[in-house]
Amino acid sequence: MELKTLLFTLASTVPLIKGETVLGVYIFSRHGDRTPKALAPANLTSLGADEVFDSGSYYRNRYIASDSSSPIFRLSRDIAVASQMTVTSPVDTVLQNSAQAFMQGLYPPVGTLSTQELANDTSVEAPLDGYQYIPINAVSTASSNTNSEDNEWLQGGSGCGNAMVSSNNYFISSEYLATYDETTSFYSDLLPVINSTFDADEANFKNAYTIFDYINVATIHNQTIPSSDLLTNETLLQLKVLANIHEWNLAYNASDKIRAVAGSTLAAQVVQQLNSTLTGKSKQPLGIQFGAYASFMSFFGLAQLPAVSADFTGVVDYASTMAFELVTNATNVSTSNYPSTSDISVRFLFANGTAAENEPQAYPLFGRSDTLTPWTTFAEEMAKISIGDTAAWCTACGNSTGVCASSTTGSDSSSSDANAASTSENGISLPVAGVIGALVTLVVVLGVETLVYFLAGLKLVKKATLAHAAASSGATGGAAGVKA
Ligand SMILES: *[C@@H]1O[C@H](CO)[C@@H](O)[C@H](O)[C@H]1NC(C)=O
Ligand SMILES: *[C@@H]1O[C@H](CO)[C@@H](O)[C@H](O)[C@H]1NC(C)=O
Ligand SMILES: *[C@@H]1O[C@H](CO)[C@@H](O)[C@H](O)[C@H]1NC(C)=O
Ligand SMILES: *[C@@H]1O[C@H](CO)[C@@H](O)[C@H](O)[C@H]1NC(C)=O
Ligand SMILES: *[C@@H]1O[C@H](CO)[C@@H](O)[C@H](O)[C@H]1NC(C)=O
Ligand SMILES: *[C@@H]1O[C@H](CO)[C@@H](O)[C@H](O)[C@H]1NC(C)=O
Ligand SMILES: *[C@@H]1O[C@H](CO)[C@@H](O)[C@H](O)[C@H]1NC(C)=O
Ligand SMILES: *[C@@H]1O[C@H](CO)[C@@H](O)[C@H](O)[C@H]1NC(C)=O
Ligand SMILES: *[C@@H]1O[C@H](CO)[C@@H](O)[C@H](O)[C@H]1NC(C)=O
Ligand SMILES: *[C@@H]1O[C@H](CO)[C@@H](O)[C@H](O)[C@H]1NC(C)=O
Ligand SMILES: *[C@@H]1O[C@H](CO)[C@@H](O)[C@H](O)[C@H]1NC(C)=O
């Protein structure tokens, strides 16, 4: 009912660029509204599911529906074809559920289109009005298939040594210590609001994000908040600003690029997927990944987006998406007349919050002035900020043991060494997702949130054990603890 109206409105607001063909797209999305991290485990809320579903519906109207404004070349309109897309998410219920809701918006139930005739003339419609089952590749389950290079990334993702050191350095930086000192009374004055969850010695800038998050969730969901008179608009804004400073500095430092390893692995994955779209003449034109706001921030920093607007140093809203469109003005595009790379550009779009309510806007990357980047330039610029395979990851992270022992010596002929080689040749999408998930773990678990995890009774020991178990058995768990 309401949905129909919404879809209609959306369709009419999508800008149309005449003559352009979209050859493929990569979308990276944050999860929708959820319960606070401080009260783990966090869950996607109904509101959150609506946000990502509506975002998926927006992209359906932009790229997929039969009357879409920018239909993607060779992408199936109504019936989702698994081989045409890769959808990934770390193993995390909020992110996995968000990915599912998004895909439902993108490829809604097909009703009678799912009807099939049996030998005895009976027709059968699929359950739930022809609901479509779209696989969401979970990083940790990838290790259970035969493609064992995924294991390496999964393990590698369990800790990038230099990035951990870098992020932890923020907590001893003069910037951090100054902000901490300046805000002691600001946070302690808020204790009446947060004291059911935070102790007095936790009410400080070290927990800037979790305190902001806890109060932000309450302002959305709780009809009554203790001492809510303390939460003036000015205070709420200050909470957000401080949380943004805190998270930005954990995710990116211009003079210490390894801190942004999440953005580097994402950059590699985007190029790898878009490149395979092009080499396959759009046989697989759609890549979608769900991940954390920290990955957005790390990528924004590396792609020089803060030069476009300081807003890019803020935590993105729930259900935010960035999209990388492969576009061409070449005419008469077909598989036998596929445009050459010199005729193809990348358009970067960002929607702050659900795309249904926040029309994605195009922004220039890498300090350029044009919002379109020629494909070859895009690939070159992304290569400068990318970490794209196990060996590069080990070198950048300064790790030389465990999974990195074989990839750095290069001399032994063990199976894992062979796997490392095939990783860089054959593609890295799932493993890279693992590293992204792991960076989130790194930033979130090893950084600020240690305290919160203890509060929630979720000991870090458990996380370490899981990671260790993954490392030794190749079982699931490397991405455990990912919270976004
Ligand atoms: C999330 O869901 C789990 C399982 O239903 C529940 O135990 C937990 O309390 C929920 N978390 C919050 C913050 O509501
Ligand atoms: C037709 O075959 C299906 C599957 O074997 C069965 O469930 C159904 O009852 C059959 N219908 C008739 C009319 O025999
Ligand atoms: C990388 O090194 C760090 C620091 O020594 C360590 O904590 C982490 O577990 C290592 N990661 C891997 C994948 O071996
Ligand atoms: C950024 O990195 C530089 C070089 O490592 C360091 O001196 C500085 O304190 C860092 N800044 C922050 C905010 O972490
Ligand atoms: C939280 O603060 C309020 C107001 O200062 C106080 O009445 C209450 O007892 C405190 N609760 C806890 C658990 O400390
Ligand atoms: C909001 O409500 C939840 C559930 O009742 C509660 O756990 C949480 O402490 C409340 N938050 C605030 C800031 O009052
Ligand atoms: C606080 O912000 C809300 C929402 O932006 C607005 O409706 C309200 O008028 C503001 N209150 C004051 C006192 O400025
Ligand atoms: C794209 O893939 C082809 C074939 O695997 C490879 O030769 C080429 O270097 C890749 N280009 C980029 C920019 O990654
Ligand atoms: C997105 O919105 C949030 C406010 O909700 C803001 O802090 C952040 O800077 C915005 N980011 C961009 C890129 O506009
Ligand atoms: C295609 O041409 C239009 C009109 O000149 C222009 O606005 C658009 O940016 C072009 N797109 C590409 C991918 O070159
Ligand atoms: C478009 O391409 C097809 C082959 O894919 C060709 O037969 C046709 O003549 C072309 N049309 C134009 C207008 O170039």
Measured CA distances, 128 to 1, 78, 373 (Å): 17, 16, 42
In this predicted structure, what is the pLDDT of residue 17? 63
The three-state secondary structure class of 256 is coil
In this predicted structure, what is the pLDDT of residue 2? 44
Instruction: For residue 439, tell me if it sits in a domain.
Output: no
Instruction: For residue 364, tell me if it sits in a domain.
Output: yes
In this predicted structure, what is the pLDDT of residue 139? 61
Alpha helices in 14-68 (DSSP H): 46-59
Q: Which residues line ligand 1 (CB under 6 A)?
A: 35, 39, 41, 43
Contact 10, 64 (CB under 8 A): no
Instruction: For residue 483, tell me if it sits in a domain.
Output: no
Mutate to test the pocket of ligand 4, among 166, 172, 242, 255 (most ligand atoms within 8 A of CB): 255
Pick from 143, 140, 164, 160: nearest CA to 416: 143
Measured CA distances, 144 to 140, 408, 468, 476 (Å): 8, 24, 16, 8
Mutate to test the pocket of ligand 11, among 21, 332, 333, 334 (most ligand atoms within 8 A of CB): 332
Task: Please indicate whether residue 336, judged by its CB atom, sits closer than 6 Å to ligand 11.
Answer: yes
Output b/e per residue, 254-280; b: 16+ Cβ within 10 A. Answer: eeebbbbbbbbbbbbbbbbbbbbbbee
Contact 279, 79 (CB under 8 A): no
Instruction: Name the β-bridge partners of 347.
Output: 325, 372
Q: Which ligand is nearest to the CA of 333?
A: 11
Q: Which ligand is nearest to the CA of 301?
A: 9
Instruction: For residue 360, tell me if it sits in a domain.
Output: yes
**What phi and psi values does residue 28 have, to the nearest 5 degrees?**
-115, 125
Contact 388, 272 (CB under 8 A): yes
Tell me how far apart the alpha carbons of residues 413 and 419 are, in angstroms, rounded to a whole number: 10
Pick from 1, 36, 402: nearest CA to 193: 36
Task: Please indicate whether residue 12, judged by its CB atom, sits closer than 6 Å to ligand 11.
Answer: no
Instruction: For residue 208, tell me if it sits in a domain.
Output: no
Tell me how far apart the alpha carbons of residues 29 and 352 are, in angstroms, rounded to a whole number: 10
Task: Please indicate whether residue 40, judged by its CB atom, sits closer than 6 Å to ligand 6.
Answer: no
Bridge pairing between strands 116-117 and 123-124:
antiparallel
Residues in Cβ contact with 312 at an 8 Å cutoff, skipping those fewer than 6 apart: 300, 301, 305, 306
- What's the CA-to-centroid distance between 309 and ligand 7, angstroms? 25
In tens, the pLDDT along 392-411 reads 888 999 988 877 887 654 43
Mutate to test the pocket of ligand 1, among 35, 43, 45 (most ligand atoms within 8 A of CB): 43
The three-state secondary structure class of 298 is helix
In tens, the pLDDT along 83-127 reads 999 999 988 899 999 999 999 999 999 999 999 999 999 999 999
Tell me how far apart the alpha carbons of residues 183 and 74 are, in angstroms, rounded to a whole number: 54
- What's the CA-to-centroid distance between 332 and ligand 11, angstroms? 6
Mutate to test the pocket of ligand 5, among 195, 197, 199, 202 (most ligand atoms within 8 A of CB): 195
In this predicted structure, what is the pLDDT of residue 407? 60
Contact 60, 356 (CB under 8 A): no
- What's the CA-to-centroid distance between 484 and ligand 6, angstroms? 19
Contact 355, 59 (CB under 8 A): yes
Say which amino acid occupies 177: L
Domain boundaries, position 289: 3-143+259-384
Tell me how far apart the alpha carbons of residues 280 and 265 are, in angstroms, rounded to a whole number: 22
In this predicted structure, what is the pLDDT of residue 425? 26
Task: Please indicate whether residue 255, judged by its CB atom, sits closer than 6 Å to ligand 4.
Answer: yes
Contact 269, 432 (CB under 8 A): yes
In tens, the pLDDT along 176-193 reads 999 999 999 999 999 999
Instruction: Name the β-bridge partners of 350.
Output: 322, 361
Burial of 123 (0-12, 13-18, 19+ CB in 10 A): exposed
Task: Please indicate whether residue 373, judged by its CB atom, sits closer than 6 Å to ligand 10.
Answer: no
- What's the CA-to-centroid distance between 362 and ligand 10, angstroms? 13
Which atom of ligand 8 approaches the CA of 376 most closely? 13
Instruction: For residue 473, tell me if it sits in a domain.
Output: no
In this predicted structure, what is the pLDDT of residue 282? 97
In this predicted structure, what is the pLDDT of residue 167? 87
Tokens of 172: 């001893």
- What's the CA-to-centroid distance between 469 and ligand 3, angstroms? 14
Which atom of ligand 5 approaches the CA of 192 most closely? 2
The three-state secondary structure class of 28 is strand
In this predicted structure, what is the pLDDT of residue 149? 25
CATH number of domain containing 73: 3.40.50.1240
Contact 80, 107 (CB under 8 A): yes
Q: Which residues line ligand 8 (CB under 6 A)?
A: 271, 275, 279, 379
- What's the CA-to-centroid distance between 44 and ligand 1, angstroms? 10
Task: Please indicate whether residue 182, judged by its CB atom, sits closer than 6 Å to ligand 4.
Answer: no
Instruction: For residue 377, tell me if it sits in a domain.
Output: yes
Tokens of 106: 């993108």
- What's the CA-to-centroid distance between 240 and ligand 9, angstroms? 10
Domain count, the chain: 1
Instruction: For residue 60, tell me if it sits in a domain.
Output: yes
Tokens of 353: 């919050």
In this predicted structure, what is the pLDDT of residue 130? 96
Contact 452, 207 (CB under 8 A): yes
From first to last of its 484 residues, the chain has per-residue pLDDT tens of: 344 444 444 433 445 566 899 999 999 999 999 999 999 889 999 999 999 999 999 999 999 998 998 999 999 999 999 999 999 998 889 999 999 999 999 999 999 999 999 999 999 999 999 999 999 997 632 222 222 222 223 222 347 889 888 988 999 999 999 999 999 999 999 999 999 999 999 999 999 999 999 999 999 999 999 999 999 999 999 999 999 999 999 999 999 999 999 899 999 999 999 999 999 999 999 999 999 899 999 999 999 999 999 999 999 999 999 999 999 999 999 999 999 999 999 999 999 999 999 999 999 999 999 999 999 999 999 999 999 888 888 899 998 887 788 765 443 333 333 333 223 222 333 334 344 334 333 333 333 333 333 333 333 333 333 333 333 333 322 233 333 5
- What's the CA-to-centroid distance between 233 and ligand 7, angstroms? 6
Tell me how far apart the alpha carbons of residues 186 and 331 are, in angstroms, rounded to a whole number: 60
For the beta carbon of residue 121, count every other beta carbon within 10 angstroms: 6
